[in-house]
Amino acid sequence: MTPHDEARLIAAARKGDSRAYAALVDAHQQAARGFLRRFCGNWSDADDLAQDAFVTAWRKLDRFEGRSSFRSWVSGIGFRIARDARRSEKRANARDSDWLAQQEAEIESEAPLEDRIALARAMADLPEEQRAAVALCLGEGFSHTEAAAILKLPLGTVKSHVTRGREKLLRALETNDG
């Protein structure tokens, strides 16, 4: 795509022409996805991040100043999204590790080491939102309503997460006893 063609498509997209924006995406998605795949090391995550980058670029197209190519601009957006996601994941993992360490310390005197290990593994195996709901309600004593507000999930979803999570944890501990 020539710089002139790109400028023409950007101008049309700024006026709301979604087909023009789709042409920009078609022209540059492989480069953005390739960069993010190499940066992240995970194809699935990179594809999601690239999609987020193009959605963000569409929303912020009026901010594109043309000092670089559209491809460079959208790749930069993807990089910032990926970097922020990586930082967020590190913080979440640190919180999870801290929480698990606290839980292990609290049950250390009560439960055998094997049960503590089984519980930690079972918690780690729970889906993220389910693990968060279980940690808040069963681990920290928050009400379902409070957990729903914290997690920004419907109350019924939190109740289901806690119920299913508890069942999985109990099964893991029963398996460990057997």
* Per-residue pLDDT reduced to its tens digit, 41-57: 878 888 999 999 999 99
Question: Cα separation of 23 and 154, whole Å?
Answer: 38
With CA atoms as reference, report the closest residue to 88 among 76, 100, 96. Answer: 96
Q: Where are the domains of the chain?
A: 3-87, 111-177
111-177 folds as Arc Repressor Mutant, subunit A (1.10.10)
Fold of 3-87: Rna Polymerase Sigma Factor; Chain: A (1.10.1740)
Give whole-number Cα distances, 154 to 103, 126, 158, in Å: 26, 19, 7
Contact 144, 158 (CB under 8 A): yes
- pLDDT band, residue 104 (cuts 50/70/90): low
Q: Tell me, what amino acid is at 47?
A: D
Residue range 137-160, pLDDT digits in tens: 888 788 898 888 888 999 999 999
Cα 149 from Cα 142, distance rounded (Å): 10
| pTM over the 0.95 mark | no
